[in-house]
């Protein structure tokens, strides 16, 4: 068990390290092509919601920091990614600013436990369908556009790999079924997005 725990801690460190650059390939891709075609804004906002709730849930329950440190790291990158997508889609306005202020106010209430912990226990089970929905929406956006020029397969490979390692580390740390279910589903969907992006890069939509 000691060796397994040490291996789990090592995987946690590897996962956290990779999460430092999880969204970086996608961010650089957007800056390079200066276009957000094929990127789903709905998928990004659903993903943001899931990361925010999961960060608050793990923090409120006092779980080992190594078992969820990637969430706040990814959140910072998610903010940059959402800003770039909204910029290239010309969606930055007064309403987006108001929504951002409301979001950060609510996030602060969750982290500071101003909102009762039982609310997080209610919201967390919803993160699995929310997270899954964000990836399904992104997958559908690629399939409908039949274009993955703005999508980084590397980002989704890192996502699939880190989610897979988390299945093991969460099982070792807490065996929380809610978290395990969330990560298993995420592995499958992130992999699907990666393969779809690779396919449409090799076989792009041909113009008549």
Least confident of 3-12, 20-29, 66-75, 128-137: 3-12
Q: What is the per-residue pLDDT for 130?
A: 86
Query: pLDDT grade, residue 127 (50/70/90)?
Result: confident
Q: What is the per-residue pLDDT for 87?
A: 92
Contact between 9 and 69 (Cβ < 8 Å): no
61 vs 155: which has the higher pLDDT: 155
Average pLDDT over the chain reads: 84
176 vs 184: which has the higher pLDDT: 184
Q: What is the per-residue pLDDT for 64?
A: 77
**Torsion 169-172-174-180 (CA) sign:** positive
Tell me the pTM. 0.76
Other Cβ atoms less than 10 A from the Cβ of 152: the count is 20
Query: pLDDT grade, residue 1 (50/70/90)?
Result: low
Q: What is the per-residue pLDDT for 208?
A: 44
Query: pLDDT grade, residue 105 (50/70/90)?
Result: very high
Q: What is the per-residue pLDDT for 207?
A: 46
Least confident of 33-47, 85-99, 103-117, 172-186: 172-186
Alpha-carbon distance of 157 to 159, in angstroms, equals: 5
């Amino acid at each position: 068990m000691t060796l397994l725990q040490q291996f789990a801690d090592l995987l946690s460190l590897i996962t956290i390290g990779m999460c430092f650059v999880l969204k970086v390939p996608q961010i650089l891709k957007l800056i390079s092509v200066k276009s957000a075609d094929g990127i789903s804004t709905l998928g990004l906002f659903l993903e943001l919601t899931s990361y925010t709730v999961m960060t608050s849930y793990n923090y409120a329950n006092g779980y080992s920091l190594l078992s969820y440190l990637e969430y706040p790291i990814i959140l910072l990158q998610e903010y940059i990614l959402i800003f770039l997508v909204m910029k290239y889609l010309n969606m930055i306005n007064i309403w987006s600013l108001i929504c951002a202020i409301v979001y950060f106010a609510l996030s602060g209430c969750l982290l500071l436990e101003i909102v009762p912990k039982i609310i997080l226990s209610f919201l967390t089970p919803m993160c699995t369908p929310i997270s899954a929905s964000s990836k399904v929406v992104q997958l559908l956006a690629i399939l409908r556009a039949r274009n993955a020029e703005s999508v980084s397969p590397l980002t989704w490979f890192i996502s699939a790999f880190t989610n897979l390692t988390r299945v093991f580390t969460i099982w070792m740390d807490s065996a929380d079924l809610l978290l395990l279910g969330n990560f298993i589903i995420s592995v499958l969907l992130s992999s699907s997005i990666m393969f779809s992006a690779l396919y449409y890069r090799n076989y792009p939509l041909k113009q008549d």
